[in-house]
Structure 1
């Protein structure tokens, strides 16, 4: 009887010692992401400032515009994403603000 009690006590003690320790780590912190609205527009609908910036760039003015998007920012301003068809599988993408300044990431 004493042996069986000793064996049971040893098993429970061993199981308690072998249990994995739980660590409280914040693996995925909560990210607050603001949603921006991205709307496809016609190339003709781009602001004149953006069009003139594109026309002034020697590397871009000969390329056709494949797609254009208007992206609404949280502060109410707009960004414009213009995708140029440069003849490659990966098309050339540029972003501009409302004043026609290129936004470099």
Structure 2
């Protein structure tokens, strides 16, 4: 009887002392989305996006400092264009491949 109580006590204390295991599983979807975003040269932007920028009075006179491209789940592309407006907080806009601005 004493042995069975002692064994139960040892097992319970072992379970109580067990270190928690951290969950290190990361979502593969988030990784794929980050990897699909590619920095491109401003000259590589599609013509409809360049035309939309040229026709937008708020950004047509600004210099493009960065351009990014990524694929959407629908199989199209979207673009983020970062403009140098002379301040620390740069202006950025998103466009679809037809040159339509994506408002968030």
TM-score, scaled relative to structure 2: 0.67
Name the residue aligned to 1:72.
71
Residue 80 of structure 2 corresponds to residue 84 of structure 1: no
CA distance in 1, matches of 2:92, 2:43: 17
Q: Give the Cα–Cα distance (whole angstroms) in 2 for the partners of residues 53 and 68 of structure 1.
A: 14
The alignment of Structure 1 onto Structure 2 pairs a total of residues equal to 75
Distance 1:72 1:90 in 2: 26
* Residue matched to 1:41: 40
Aligned-pair CA distance for 1:32: 8.7
Hey, what's the Cα distance between the residues in 1 that align with 2:70 and 2:103?
A: 15
Moved segments of 4+, more than 4 Å: 31-34
Structure 2, unmatched stretches of 5+, are 1-26
Runs of 5+ consecutive residues of structure 1 not aligned to the other structure: 1-30
Cα distance, 1:33 vs. partner? 4.7
The match for 2:61 is 62
- Normalized per residue, the structure richer in helix is 2
Q: Secondary structure at the match of 1:50?
A: helix
Counterpart CA distance in 2 for 1:75 and 1:53 is 22
